[in-house]
Amino acid sequence: MIHRIFISSKLTSGLEKKDKKALGSSIDKFLKNCQSQLSQEPPSGILLMYNQHALFCIESSQEIIMLVMLEIITNLSSIVSESKVLSFTENVPLACSSMDGPMSRYLLGHLNRNMKLVTLYHR
């Protein structure tokens, strides 16, 4: 079963561009590691970075989503804080689960110069 979660986090003040890239790389490596260890459907997602906030959207199994949440709370606490789950959707229909779908196109179509889109991992 594929689930989708949106998590909002506050970025530590004074983060430089290289720190934001490191955050994206860290999540990307973490998701790839989770997939190889759990031998499940590969996770996919995007990470939107604003000046002071980050928005994570992850589609994966419940186990990987729980691991991502723990990673954000524990190992990324020096970069992000005040993380909140904005939405959690269980059992996303397969036709709606790809990040190439309407949700992804909507997000890409509404980005402005204050946002930075980082593709995490795509199945």
Q: Tell me how far CA of residue 35 lies from CA of 8, 10, 72, in angstroms.
A: 23, 26, 17
| DSSP-based three-state secondary structure for 108 | helix
Q: Band the pLDDT of 6: cuts 50, 70, 90.
A: very high
Strand partners, 55: 8, 48
pTM over 0.85: no
Interatomic CA distance for residues 17 and 27, integer angstroms:
16
The position carrying tokens 């995007």 is 46
Asked whether the predicted pLDDT for residue 107 surpasses 50, the reply is: no
Instruction: Check: CB of residue 92 under 8 Å from CB of residue 59.
Output: yes
pLDDT digits (tens, 9 = 90+) for 28-68: 888 888 878 877 777 888 889 888 899 999 888 888 888 88
Asked whether the predicted pLDDT for residue 110 surpasses 80, the reply is: no
Interatomic CA distance for residues 122 and 82, integer angstroms:
26
| Dihedral, 30, 54, 104, 41 alpha carbons, nearest 10 | 20
Q: Band the pLDDT of 10: cuts 50, 70, 90.
A: very high
Q: What is the pLDDT at residue 106?
A: 47
Phi first, then psi: what are they for 81, rounded to 5°? Answer: -145, 175
pLDDT digits (tens, 9 = 90+) for 70-105: 888 888 888 888 888 888 888 776 545 444 444 444
Interatomic CA distance for residues 50 and 29, integer angstroms:
21
